Amino acid sequence: MLTREALREQPRHSLWRRLSTYSFTTQKISRPIIREFVAAHATSAHTLVLHPEEGLEHFPDRFVISKREWDKPDLLMDVGFEGLSAVGDESFDMILCVGLLEHIPDPQPFIDHLHRILRPGGQVLITCSSTFSLHEGPHDYFRFTVFGMRQLLRGWRQIDVLRGSCGPFTTIGILLQRILMQSEISPPLRPCLEVLVHVFPKLDRFVTHQYATASRTPGTECDSVLPSNLQVVATK
Protein backbone atom coordinates (compact mmCIF):
# COMPACT_ATOMS: atom_id res chain seq x y z
CA MET A 1 0.00 0.00 0.00
CA LEU A 2 1.37 3.40 -0.98
CA THR A 3 2.11 5.79 1.82
CA ARG A 4 0.88 9.37 1.72
CA GLU A 5 4.41 10.50 0.88
CA ALA A 6 4.59 8.03 -2.02
CA LEU A 7 1.21 9.21 -3.35
CA ARG A 8 2.57 12.74 -3.49
CA GLU A 9 5.16 11.54 -5.98
CA GLN A 10 2.54 10.19 -8.39
CA PRO A 11 1.77 12.53 -11.34
CA ARG A 12 -1.84 13.26 -10.42
CA HIS A 13 -0.90 13.88 -6.83
CA SER A 14 1.94 16.13 -7.94
CA LEU A 15 -0.61 18.22 -9.85
CA TRP A 16 -2.81 18.39 -6.74
CA ARG A 17 0.18 19.52 -4.72
CA ARG A 18 1.01 22.24 -7.25
CA LEU A 19 -2.57 23.45 -7.13
CA SER A 20 -2.31 23.42 -3.32
CA THR A 21 0.26 26.21 -3.56
CA TYR A 22 -1.08 28.16 -6.55
CA SER A 23 -2.18 31.79 -6.15
CA PHE A 24 -3.80 34.05 -8.73
CA THR A 25 -2.35 37.15 -7.06
CA THR A 26 1.43 37.52 -6.99
CA GLN A 27 1.63 41.10 -5.61
CA LYS A 28 2.03 41.22 -1.82
CA ILE A 29 -0.55 43.62 -0.41
CA SER A 30 1.97 44.72 2.21
CA ARG A 31 4.43 46.07 -0.40
CA PRO A 32 2.57 49.29 -1.36
CA ILE A 33 2.37 50.19 2.33
CA ILE A 34 6.15 49.92 2.67
CA ARG A 35 6.76 51.79 -0.58
CA GLU A 36 4.54 54.68 0.51
CA PHE A 37 6.35 55.01 3.84
CA VAL A 38 9.80 54.93 2.25
CA ALA A 39 8.86 57.36 -0.54
CA ALA A 40 7.50 59.85 2.00
CA HIS A 41 11.02 60.20 3.43
CA ALA A 42 12.97 60.40 0.18
CA THR A 43 16.20 62.38 0.45
CA SER A 44 19.37 63.20 -1.43
CA ALA A 45 21.35 63.05 1.83
CA HIS A 46 24.05 60.42 2.31
CA THR A 47 22.03 57.32 3.26
CA LEU A 48 22.98 53.94 4.66
CA VAL A 49 20.57 51.29 3.38
CA LEU A 50 20.47 48.10 5.43
CA HIS A 51 18.80 45.01 3.98
CA PRO A 52 17.30 46.71 0.88
CA GLU A 53 13.64 45.91 0.20
CA GLU A 54 11.79 48.86 -1.34
CA GLY A 55 12.40 52.35 -2.67
CA LEU A 56 16.13 52.50 -3.33
CA GLU A 57 15.44 55.00 -6.10
CA HIS A 58 14.40 57.53 -3.45
CA PHE A 59 17.93 57.59 -1.97
CA PRO A 60 20.35 58.37 -4.80
CA ASP A 61 23.34 58.96 -2.50
CA ARG A 62 23.21 55.55 -0.83
CA PHE A 63 25.56 52.91 0.50
CA VAL A 64 23.94 49.46 0.64
CA ILE A 65 24.76 46.79 3.21
CA SER A 66 23.06 43.42 2.96
CA LYS A 67 23.43 39.83 4.11
CA ARG A 68 22.24 38.67 0.67
CA GLU A 69 24.63 38.41 -2.24
CA TRP A 70 21.86 38.85 -4.81
CA ASP A 71 21.28 42.41 -3.56
CA LYS A 72 24.75 43.22 -4.97
CA PRO A 73 25.50 45.37 -1.92
CA ASP A 74 28.43 47.73 -1.47
CA LEU A 75 29.24 45.69 1.65
CA LEU A 76 28.19 42.09 2.29
CA MET A 77 27.33 41.60 5.95
CA ASP A 78 27.02 38.62 8.29
CA VAL A 79 23.50 37.32 9.05
CA GLY A 80 23.31 39.09 12.42
CA PHE A 81 24.85 42.35 11.11
CA GLU A 82 27.48 42.23 13.83
CA GLY A 83 29.93 43.64 11.29
CA LEU A 84 28.29 47.06 11.62
CA SER A 85 31.00 47.85 14.15
CA ALA A 86 33.28 48.45 11.13
CA VAL A 87 31.13 51.35 9.88
CA GLY A 88 32.55 54.70 10.99
CA ASP A 89 31.03 56.96 13.64
CA GLU A 90 28.73 59.75 12.44
CA SER A 91 29.25 58.79 8.81
CA PHE A 92 25.66 58.97 7.44
CA ASP A 93 22.80 61.48 7.49
CA MET A 94 20.05 58.88 7.07
CA ILE A 95 19.66 55.16 7.71
CA LEU A 96 16.98 53.07 6.01
CA CYS A 97 16.30 49.74 7.70
CA VAL A 98 13.32 47.86 6.24
CA GLY A 99 12.26 44.39 7.35
CA LEU A 100 15.46 43.62 9.22
CA LEU A 101 15.08 44.28 12.95
CA GLU A 102 13.08 41.10 13.68
CA HIS A 103 16.00 39.08 12.25
CA ILE A 104 18.61 40.59 14.57
CA PRO A 105 19.27 38.29 17.57
CA ASP A 106 20.14 41.20 19.89
CA PRO A 107 18.24 44.35 18.80
CA GLN A 108 19.51 46.82 21.41
CA PRO A 109 23.22 46.77 20.40
CA PHE A 110 22.06 46.97 16.78
CA ILE A 111 19.97 50.08 17.49
CA ASP A 112 22.92 51.55 19.42
CA HIS A 113 25.14 51.02 16.36
CA LEU A 114 22.65 52.93 14.21
CA HIS A 115 22.77 55.80 16.70
CA ARG A 116 26.58 55.79 16.59
CA ILE A 117 26.68 55.72 12.78
CA LEU A 118 24.30 58.66 12.32
CA ARG A 119 25.50 62.24 12.33
CA PRO A 120 23.89 64.56 14.90
CA GLY A 121 20.40 65.43 13.72
CA GLY A 122 20.34 62.43 11.40
CA GLN A 123 17.32 60.14 11.14
CA VAL A 124 16.71 56.42 11.02
CA LEU A 125 13.73 54.92 9.18
CA ILE A 126 12.69 51.47 10.41
CA THR A 127 9.94 49.06 9.51
CA CYS A 128 9.73 45.86 11.54
CA SER A 129 7.28 43.02 12.08
CA SER A 130 4.57 43.43 14.69
CA THR A 131 1.86 40.88 13.76
CA PHE A 132 3.34 38.81 10.97
CA SER A 133 4.01 35.25 9.92
CA LEU A 134 7.18 33.32 10.67
CA HIS A 135 9.63 34.05 7.85
CA GLU A 136 13.31 33.65 6.99
CA GLY A 137 13.63 31.01 9.70
CA PRO A 138 15.63 30.11 11.65
CA HIS A 139 16.76 33.77 11.83
CA ASP A 140 13.39 35.20 12.89
CA TYR A 141 13.54 36.25 16.52
CA PHE A 142 11.13 39.04 17.53
CA ARG A 143 7.83 40.86 17.02
CA PHE A 144 7.69 44.48 18.16
CA THR A 145 5.11 46.75 19.81
CA VAL A 146 5.15 50.52 20.10
CA PHE A 147 6.05 50.10 23.78
CA GLY A 148 9.00 47.86 22.97
CA MET A 149 10.23 50.29 20.31
CA ARG A 150 10.13 53.18 22.77
CA GLN A 151 12.33 51.11 25.06
CA LEU A 152 14.82 50.35 22.28
CA LEU A 153 14.94 54.02 21.25
CA ARG A 154 15.07 55.51 24.72
CA GLY A 155 18.54 56.98 24.10
CA TRP A 156 17.51 58.92 20.98
CA ARG A 157 16.77 62.64 21.00
CA GLN A 158 13.25 62.18 19.72
CA ILE A 159 10.90 59.72 18.06
CA ASP A 160 9.26 61.53 15.16
CA VAL A 161 7.02 58.69 13.94
CA LEU A 162 5.95 55.53 15.75
CA ARG A 163 2.83 53.91 14.37
CA GLY A 164 1.27 50.76 13.00
CA SER A 165 1.64 50.34 9.26
CA CYS A 166 -2.01 49.46 8.73
CA GLY A 167 -5.36 48.79 10.35
CA PRO A 168 -6.32 45.45 11.91
CA PHE A 169 -8.39 44.14 9.00
CA THR A 170 -5.60 44.91 6.54
CA THR A 171 -3.32 42.89 8.82
CA ILE A 172 -5.76 39.98 8.62
CA GLY A 173 -5.62 40.24 4.83
CA ILE A 174 -1.81 40.27 4.93
CA LEU A 175 -1.75 37.24 7.23
CA LEU A 176 -4.20 35.34 5.01
CA GLN A 177 -1.97 36.06 2.03
CA ARG A 178 1.06 34.80 3.96
CA ILE A 179 -0.84 31.62 4.83
CA LEU A 180 -1.50 31.12 1.12
CA MET A 181 2.15 31.83 0.32
CA GLN A 182 3.60 29.56 3.00
CA SER A 183 1.13 26.67 3.21
CA GLU A 184 -0.28 23.87 1.12
CA ILE A 185 -4.06 24.30 1.18
CA SER A 186 -6.76 22.22 -0.47
CA PRO A 187 -7.19 23.69 -3.99
CA PRO A 188 -10.98 24.24 -3.76
CA LEU A 189 -10.45 26.44 -0.70
CA ARG A 190 -7.54 28.53 -2.00
CA PRO A 191 -9.59 30.83 -4.31
CA CYS A 192 -12.03 31.56 -1.48
CA LEU A 193 -9.19 32.60 0.81
CA GLU A 194 -7.63 34.67 -1.94
CA VAL A 195 -10.85 36.66 -2.31
CA LEU A 196 -10.84 37.32 1.44
CA VAL A 197 -7.26 38.64 1.18
CA HIS A 198 -8.61 41.56 -0.84
CA VAL A 199 -11.92 41.94 1.01
CA PHE A 200 -10.60 42.23 4.57
CA PRO A 201 -8.52 45.42 4.07
CA LYS A 202 -11.66 47.27 2.91
CA LEU A 203 -13.24 46.69 6.33
CA ASP A 204 -10.75 49.05 8.03
CA ARG A 205 -12.82 52.02 6.86
CA PHE A 206 -15.53 50.94 9.33
CA VAL A 207 -13.20 50.91 12.38
CA THR A 208 -13.82 54.14 14.30
CA HIS A 209 -11.68 53.82 17.46
CA GLN A 210 -9.03 51.38 18.70
CA TYR A 211 -7.63 50.80 22.17
CA ALA A 212 -4.54 49.16 23.65
CA THR A 213 -6.69 47.44 26.25
CA ALA A 214 -10.05 45.65 26.19
CA SER A 215 -11.40 47.95 28.90
CA ARG A 216 -11.25 50.99 26.56
CA THR A 217 -10.20 53.33 29.32
CA PRO A 218 -9.38 57.00 28.63
CA GLY A 219 -5.87 57.52 27.32
CA THR A 220 -5.48 54.01 25.88
CA GLU A 221 -6.42 54.86 22.30
CA CYS A 222 -4.01 53.52 19.67
CA ASP A 223 -3.68 53.89 15.92
CA SER A 224 -3.82 50.13 15.28
CA VAL A 225 -4.59 47.36 17.72
CA LEU A 226 -3.21 44.77 15.29
CA PRO A 227 -0.62 46.31 12.94
CA SER A 228 1.23 44.07 10.53
CA ASN A 229 4.40 46.15 10.93
CA LEU A 230 5.62 49.17 12.83
CA GLN A 231 6.86 52.28 11.06
CA VAL A 232 9.46 54.29 12.92
CA VAL A 233 11.36 57.53 12.34
CA ALA A 234 13.78 58.60 15.06
CA THR A 235 16.24 61.50 15.25
CA LYS A 236 19.68 61.36 16.87
Q: Is 198 domain-assigned?
A: no
- The answer to whether 115 and 153 have CB atoms below 8 angstroms apart is no
pLDDT number for residue 54: 87
Residues in the chain: 236
pLDDT number for residue 196: 97
Q: Is 81 domain-assigned?
A: yes
DSSP letter, residue 120: E
pLDDT number for residue 2: 47
Classify strands 118-129 and 229-235 as parallel, antiparallel or unpaired.
antiparallel
Count structural domains, the chain. Answer: 1
Read off the CATH number of the domain in which 155 is found: 3.40.50.150
| Consecutive 10-residue averages of pLDDT for the chain (236 residues) | 54 80 88 96 97 92 96 94 94 97 97 98 98 94 97 97 98 97 94 96 97 91 96 98
Q: Is 140 domain-assigned?
A: yes
- The answer to whether 48 and 117 have CB atoms below 8 angstroms apart is yes
pLDDT number for residue 10: 58
Which residues, 6+ apart, have CB-to-CB distance to 66 below 8 Å?
50, 51, 52, 73, 76, 77
Q: Is 172 domain-assigned?
A: no
pLDDT number for residue 22: 87
pTM of the model: 0.90
Domain of residue 130: give its range. 25-167+221-235
Q: Is 183 domain-assigned?
A: no
Q: Is 60 domain-assigned?
A: yes
pLDDT number for residue 9: 56
Task: Tell which residue, 120, 112, 113, 101, has the closest CA to residue 231.
Answer: 101
Q: Is 133 domain-assigned?
A: yes
Ramachandran class of 22: left when φ > 0, alpha when ψ lies in -120 to 50, beta otherwise: beta
pLDDT number for residue 98: 96
Q: Is 188 domain-assigned?
A: no
Distances (CA, A) of 45 to 39, 55, 94, 124, 128: 14, 15, 7, 12, 23
- Order the strands of the 47-50 sheet from edge to edge: 75-76, 62-66, 47-50, 92-98, 118-129, 229-235, 158-164
